[in-house]
Structure 1
């Protein structure tokens, strides 16, 4: 007989509210690449003893695997029926709470760059410059330690080096790079670095900041309409061709975001006497032949990251191919490819066991 999963929902760190949650009303949604996911849970409070407030953390763990973590942003007190007799308050047992919120990726929009090394004077100064050959991962570590209020309990072990943002083609040219100005959002600085690396970046449910060239979180099993229900093992930690059944499948190919011809300008504005104007056009002829011509243009005059030919070339390549150093790496990255959305449903008791515990899919798994 199938055995159900063990689900734990906690509020404010250690308060287990699982038994009070109406599961048919609970929903948790995670999104990729730092877009904040959302949740909504309805909590019964028959004894009128519970209390919730915004800003507290809420998490979802299934069979020991933390699948969601975030913050309560909305607290609603309600009753399930239009009318409730409250003349005798001690007999009122229908009170409920509705908690809504977002996952940890909201922090990219709720932290600002600042220099509090010597307040108040340091708030009035430009951030210190860094050498152009400084790698993006190292810069992000400096950012989290010195220039934002990085939350306690969060880690940066998922941050890796990909390219120097101010020397994305690794030409080794001398010079300095610059941060965004004080008051900029953390998200804006991450986007500034990632635009030259094509990096995947987000905060996972375990409070770890991720920044890497390609997602490397593998699922050992997948789905098939002819499932083999093969067992999975600890090694290799990649897809093992084990397949399980599903239902309610919907696959959509979306070509609206395809870019196979990118124009990028940088340096000084047209007609300016301040310096040169730089330009690069990146095309993917295979994609044009298959999907037609889909263009995109970006003019970033005055941007330090677009102040050289190397920077403009790298940016155009990242847009089309996802790789700043190659014109056509055919690596499955970049906007040259149509995007796929796959929706399906599977039963928790079908999840294969790994060392005796269900190997649940996690947001970001390949």
Structure 2
């Protein structure tokens, strides 16, 4: 029998907090990916070969992303994908949560037990560890953009993926007694402040909320946009709706990590300058306007994708005369869940709050009537 070898442990670096009490925060720069660059990427993907998962995808990686972290924002990975007519991906699953939007063509997405037929501007969600297969049953290429928390998981070395397929997942579950492990070991109160001791059974059998794959068809979403189209400059909020997933509860998310919103403006709208610790990525699928980020102007039009609000960057958006339709994805729920969603609505004189841990801001919606 061979003798196991030991590898010397790396030497840790010790920092004296008296000389360096806080780690400096590096703010990522705004980044614009034009509609032309996106179309060129789609053409290159169509001309190339699928990867080992049967996918034709390209990741959009910010130049400030650390080595091994493939994100457009620190916690957000963004991919452009194509499936040619008749193609189907390999069935996979991973521990990311995410969402996507159909940009062109039609796709059929099987996530867990649900199958969705997606057309242009439809949005869908993918829960963690759900088996996923995409196919193109149409006659034109299927184009999509997808967002996931893979960048965050890569940054903490926690990304997991396998190719087990449906056979393993559909195997007959092991018989159970019907009792939950946590019920066999009650919590032990320690004091009047709510502190408790939890036995191990609580760690391996936590309460959970079922997160189902969701489909937000544009044909239905578009019918309800009149509630925000009438909001004009002077409204202190934003003319948008959240694509809400009830499984996220108070996080007000589309997934546990992200919200996706649809901004709909009928004409010119000037939003106030504000900032928040969550990063915002805008896909402009109709209309024109510009954004001011840390004093720099970025003009955008249909098909442009932009990291428009790196965390804590002061920014404002101006919508042109023709109005606009914008899909915005922010890692807002992730920050809410960790108590780190620091937000300032009025960059000049407004207070700074931790949303979800403190009471939030008010708007003047009453002046404009209810939605």
Q: Same fold (TM over 0.5)?
A: no
Q: Aligning the two structures, in what range does the TM-score lie when normalised by the shorter sequence?
A: under 0.3
- Of the two, which has the highest radius of gyration? 1
Structure 1 length normalisation: TM-score?
0.24
Q: TM-score, normalising length from structure 2?
A: 0.24
